[in-house]
Amino acid sequence: MNIVIVESPAKAKTINKYLGSDYRVLASYGHVRDLPSKNGSVVPDNDFEMHWDVDPKSAKRLNEIAQAVKGADKLILATDPDREGEAISWHVLQVLERKKLLGQIPVERVVFNAVTKDAIREAMRNPRAIDEPLVNAYLARRALDYLVGFTLSPVLWRKLPGARSAGRVQSVALRLVCERELEIEKFVAQEYWSLTTTLANGQNETFNARLFSAEGDKLGKFDIPDEATAMALKAALDGGRYSVGSIESKSQKRNPAAPFTTSTLQQEASRKLGFSPRQTMQVAQRLYEGVALGGVTEGLITYMRTDGVQIVPEAISQVRSLVSGLYGQRYVPASPRQYSTKAKNAQEAHEAIRPTDFSKAPDKVARYLEPDALKLYKLIWQRTLASQAASAEIERTTADIDVAGTDGKTYGVRATGSVIRFDGFLKIYEEGVDDAVGEDGSLPALTQGESLDPRAVEAKQHFTEPPPRYSEATLIKKMEELGIGRPSTYAATLNVLREREYVRIDKKRLIPEDKGRLVTAFLESFFKRYVEYDFTADLEEKLDLISAGDLQWKDVLRDFWRDFIGAVNEIGDLRIAQVLDALNDLLGPHIFPDTGDGKPRACPSCGDGQLSLKVGKFGAFVGCSNYPDCRYTRQLAETGEKAAFADGKVLGLDPDTELEVSIRTGRFGPYIQLGEAADGEKPKRASIPKGTDPDAIDLDRALALLSLPREVGIHPESGKPITAGYGRFGPYVQCDGKYASLSTPEEVFEVGANRAITLLAEKAAKGAQRGASVIKELGEHPEGGGKVQVLSGRYGPYVKHEKINATIPRDRAPEDITLEEAVELIAARAAKAPAKKKTAKKAPAKKKAAKKTAAKKAPAKKAAAKKSAAKKTAQKSTSSKEAADEAAS
């Protein structure tokens, strides 16, 4: 029996069908070993010795593999054809060798770029050994990520409370987002004007032309800076004499884009399909590993983690034949197109992403695919076909028109038009836009010297715009251009930034949170070299040289660690006050915007204090230097008008008490306050509901908020009052300690007794059900052990198998989760589960011994102290785990 090892059960299931009864395919469920989440997993002082750990779930998989290998004829390692795939094979081999299970059993490594019968059998005929340089590159990358995470993250915790972690690639990606935000904040719009004329030829055909020159000099973008200049030019063009000066037509060719790489697929799927990079990779993984097509399971696309743009000659021949058959021979170029990537440090060992079989057109496999999978497959299929199609032919015409202005000066206006003479590849696919191809607008027939009739002149005001925020797709494109990260890391890196709450996504744009900006500013101030783009790209290049066998991996680690640990040690004695001073200077324009008085850091409360960054239990905030005499504070994000609320925005007087009602801002957000503190008692306050604009609150609304909680009625069963109000988790009704949520903030003021009683009863009934509600039944787990379900729980949707629960990613709708996705999520969750400590069973103690023990019981204070210490230890362990997770990403 030949034992074949792959990563995933879906892939194993597909390959099992291609190989005969002499083969048994087992899944490792990804990596089987990892560096433990604790200090000392990589030991620089011992030649970078690495200590690997096997978690319980992986131990179970390895035991299954070990049992299968005993007495096997051959072990075949068939994991993915990239660095991570090579590493998984190496880890499996290392474990089996340590168990001394291989003996004389031959070991082969096979790789394939597509999960198809022909590709699998071809790979089996051409085995090789483990690629040691590729493994060394993995070890170097893993050690670097671990060392950065476990060395830098604790520095952040000590010097910048509230920050969670830093990472080698993650921190550089975050810097890109933060720098773009700073560009936007510093941007000052510049006014400029343009003039457009509407003209008609002798056949009464109209077209538009724009002013581009005056007295023979070309006008620049900002040469018409204001309305006065624009109106003077408009008056000169109105009623002027127009004649055609010159006409020039040029034929241009537009060539198709290359087939997809990981990066370009993520960008296009984002633009055209609205997919996040993570969603794109999840769907592509399923298309690669195999789809059931009428009883036959087959991979529909080639390997989806690649930066190569070439495809094999036989695939090119198939594409050219297909294009000719579908669209005609004119749509096929004379010779095959060859592509090369422009991305920095790209490796072209792998093919581009393409369909494995071009005869499987999207419409032929549509009934076997989920909607998302069909959309992505169609995108890949069309892009690959277009890459080998003929160029589009476009004719562009430019007409320069002379104008004798009414002011005696000469001007020039220009009209342009273009028309597609031959659509070529555009008939199949157009990059970056919807698949709607047509005329771009052509000019009417004109002749040189012809007089034209002016119909209208329009002056239009414009303002320059700041650079756009990055989307996930454009950030990936920028990272690829700079040579930062690799195809397999992009989606994971962006996911970490979101999970750490360093960035948020609004309208598909990445906006840095203040926590992220603080981390970036800290790293730029004290670890600038390690967030420089060139430094990170050079390190990536060295890792590539390791994989090519041109550099020794431990030499790279030594060079990095020597300077890195020196930089860490240098700031060991740095006081937090020094850190905050540096951050005050670097983030000044963001934290302390100039309101026009030239004193952006003056305290608005006491007047003579200076505003500065402060750190507390919940992170950073802005406070006055005169604390505790002045207790002015505001959240970091509150700048400009919102910051003014911190000192109080008076809405009016409460008619009952005649006290001022004001909007204020504290560390936890805006709130309503009635009067001022008196006789040591705090004034009455009410929180402003989340999502409510403080500017929109008037006196009536503020008084309504201060009146909460509101009594709704009396419960008929308990006889106790029902009240409505706002709490930590939003609007609610409650009676006798039992709560039920309201759907909108307005319901607090509108809900009646009947509705409140119904909501409380429904909540009580739901709680009595003891368990989450089932959203979807997915079927039996491929390894047995019961069914897999999609459930709705208290903290959101999740998938469940036996005792393992795995959270569903935020960018995936729970109704769309497939069995294959669920199995992967469950396997990943199981791999992270901590090992259970075995405790020896003790014989029951005798009653007398028990009494003695009770008599010698420690005082309560000592027990509490031990409990507190244990809690701190647990917190420290959790932080270490977070750092390790970050390093791994």
Cα 339 to Cα 308: distance, rounded to the nearest angstrom: 9
Higher pLDDT, 871 or 113: 113
Q: Where are the alpha helices (DSSP H) in 99-194?
A: 117-125, 132-159, 170-186
Continuous segment of H or E residues that includes residue 16: helix 9-18
Cα 758 to Cα 768: distance, rounded to the nearest angstrom: 15
Q: How do beta strands 23-27 and 2-6 pair?
A: parallel
Cα 309 to Cα 307: distance, rounded to the nearest angstrom: 7
In tens, the pLDDT along 396-416 reads 999 999 999 999 999 999 999
Residue 303 appears among annotated catalytic residues: yes
Mean pLDDT is lowest, of 63-77, 256-270, 759-773, 853-867, for: 853-867
Mean pLDDT is lowest, of 187-191, 495-499, 645-649, 840-844, for: 840-844
| Residue 775 · residue 797 · CB < 8 Å | yes
Write phi, then psi, for 813 (nearest 5 degrees): -75, 130
Which DSSP state fits 269?
Answer: I
pLDDT, mean of residues 280-307: 89
Lookup: tokens for 486: 């690799």
Cα 356 to Cα 367: distance, rounded to the nearest angstrom: 18
pLDDT, mean of residues 250-256: 93
3-state secondary structure of 665: strand
In tens, the pLDDT along 348-371 reads 457 899 999 999 999 999 999 999
Lookup: tokens for 54: 């096997």
Cα 111 to Cα 125: distance, rounded to the nearest angstrom: 11
| Residue 540 · residue 345 · CB < 8 Å | yes
Q: What percent of the chain has pLDDT above 90?
A: 40
Q: Average pLDDT of the chain?
A: 83
- 140-187+467-577: CATH topology is Topoisomerase I; domain 2 (1.10.460)
Is the confidence at residue 834, as pLDDT, over 70?
A: no
Residue type, 154: P
Residue 413 has a pLDDT of 96
Torsion of CA 870, 875, 879, 882, to 10 degrees: 100
| Residue 812 · residue 280 · CB < 8 Å | no
Closest CA to 591 of 544, 640, 542: 640
In tens, the pLDDT along 5-54 reads 998 888 888 898 888 888 999 999 888 999 988 888 999 999 999 999 98
Write phi, then psi, for 864 (nearest 5 degrees): -65, -40
In tens, the pLDDT along 121-175 reads 999 999 999 999 999 999 999 999 899 888 888 887 777 766 667 788 889 999 9
* Architecture of the domain defined by 191-255+393-463: Distorted Sandwich (2.70)
Count of other CB atoms within 10 angstroms of residue 569:
9
Residue 404 has a pLDDT of 95
Lookup: tokens for 504: 């948020």
Torsion of CA 195, 201, 207, 209, to 10 degrees: -30
Residue 618 has a pLDDT of 57
Torsion of CA 331, 337, 340, 343, to 10 degrees: 0
Continuous segment of H or E residues that includes residue 865: helix 860-888
Count of other CB atoms within 10 angstroms of residue 801:
23
Cα 193 to Cα 231: distance, rounded to the nearest angstrom: 10
Those residues with Cβ within 8 angstroms of residue 64's Cβ, 6 or more apart along the chain or in another chain: 26
Those residues with Cβ within 8 angstroms of residue 168's Cβ, 6 or more apart along the chain or in another chain: 144, 145, 148, 149, 530, 536, 539
Is the confidence at residue 587, as pLDDT, over 80?
A: no
Is the confidence at residue 243, as pLDDT, over 70?
A: yes
Residue where the block lists tokens 């670890």: 527
Those residues with Cβ within 8 angstroms of residue 127's Cβ, 6 or more apart along the chain or in another chain: 76, 108, 109, 110
Cα 495 to Cα 812: distance, rounded to the nearest angstrom: 13
Task: Give the CA diameter of the chain.
Answer: 120
Domain boundaries, given as residue ranges, for the chain? 2-130, 140-187+467-577, 191-255+393-463, 262-390, 578-673, 710-768, 775-832, 847-888
Residue 434 has a pLDDT of 45
Closest CA to 105 of 136, 135, 53, 65: 65
pLDDT, mean of residues 226-250: 94
3-state secondary structure of 88: helix
Cα 588 to Cα 602: distance, rounded to the nearest angstrom: 13
Residue type, 634: R
Closest CA to 247 of 307, 207, 282, 281: 207
Residue where the block lists tokens 């207790």: 631
Q: Does domain 262-390 have CATH number 1.10.290.10?
A: yes
* Architecture of the domain defined by 2-130: 3-Layer(aba) Sandwich (3.40)
How far does CA 822 lie from the centroid of its chain? 21
Closest CA to 309 of 355, 364, 279, 346: 346
Those residues with Cβ within 8 angstroms of residue 418's Cβ, 6 or more apart along the chain or in another chain: 394, 395, 396, 397, 439, 440, 441, 442
How far does CA 850 lie from the centroid of its chain? 57
Q: Where are the alpha helices (DSSP H) in 344-471?
A: 362-365, 371-387
Residue 780 has a pLDDT of 82
Is the confidence at residue 318, as pLDDT, over 90?
A: yes
Higher pLDDT, 690 or 13: 13
pLDDT, mean of residues 761-785: 73
Residue 588 has a pLDDT of 73
Count of other CB atoms within 10 angstroms of residue 635:
20
Cα 48 to Cα 561: distance, rounded to the nearest angstrom: 10
What strands, in cross-sheet order, belong to the sheet with 710-714?
A: 710-714, 721-727, 730-735, 738-741
Lookup: tokens for 195: 């003039």
Those residues with Cβ within 8 angstroms of residue 306's Cβ, 6 or more apart along the chain or in another chain: 82, 261, 262, 350, 351, 352, 353, 487
3-state secondary structure of 116: coil
Give just the sign of the alpha carbon dihedral 287, 293, 295, 296. negative
Higher pLDDT, 829 or 438: 829
Higher pLDDT, 850 or 237: 237
Is the confidence at residue 640, as pLDDT, over 70?
A: no
| Distance (Å) of CA 544 to CA 145, 307, 485, 549 | 15, 13, 11, 9
Mean pLDDT is lowest, of 376-390, 429-443, 584-598, for: 429-443
Mean pLDDT is lowest, of 87-96, 537-546, 564-573, for: 564-573
Residue type, 69: V
Continuous segment of H or E residues that includes residue 664: strand 660-666
Cα 713 to Cα 524: distance, rounded to the nearest angstrom: 58
Is the confidence at residue 857, as pLDDT, over 80?
A: no
Across 87-105, b (16+ Cβ under 10 Å) vs e yields bbbbbbbebbeeeebeeee
Residue 723 has a pLDDT of 94
Cα 782 to Cα 786: distance, rounded to the nearest angstrom: 9
| Residue 508 · residue 471 · CB < 8 Å | yes
Is the confidence at residue 644, as pLDDT, over 50?
A: no
Lookup: tokens for 136: 């060394």
Continuous segment of H or E residues that includes residue 108: strand 107-109
| End-to-end Cα, the chain, rounded Å | 37
| Residue 540 · residue 485 · CB < 8 Å | yes
Q: Report DSSP letters for 272-333, one per residue.
A: II---HHHHHHHHHHHHH-EEETTEEE--BB-S--------HHHHHHHHHHHHHHH-GGGS-
Residue where the block lists tokens 């008619």: 655
Mean pLDDT is lowest, of 162-171, 287-296, 488-497, 696-705, for: 162-171
Is the confidence at residue 344, as pLDDT, over 90?
A: no
- Spot the catalytic one: 146, 303, 411, 798: 303
Cα 65 to Cα 94: distance, rounded to the nearest angstrom: 13
Cα 846 to Cα 849: distance, rounded to the nearest angstrom: 5
Q: At what angle do helices 132-159 and 533-547 cross, to 10 degrees?
A: 150
Across 131-147, b (16+ Cβ under 10 Å) vs e yields bebbbbbbbbbbbbbbb
Structure confidence at residue 330 as a pLDDT band (50, 70, 90):
very high
pLDDT, mean of residues 642-669: 70
Is the confidence at residue 884, as pLDDT, over 50?
A: no
Q: What percent of the chain has pLDDT above 70?
A: 86
Cα 281 to Cα 494: distance, rounded to the nearest angstrom: 13
In tens, the pLDDT along 261-274 reads 999 999 999 989 98
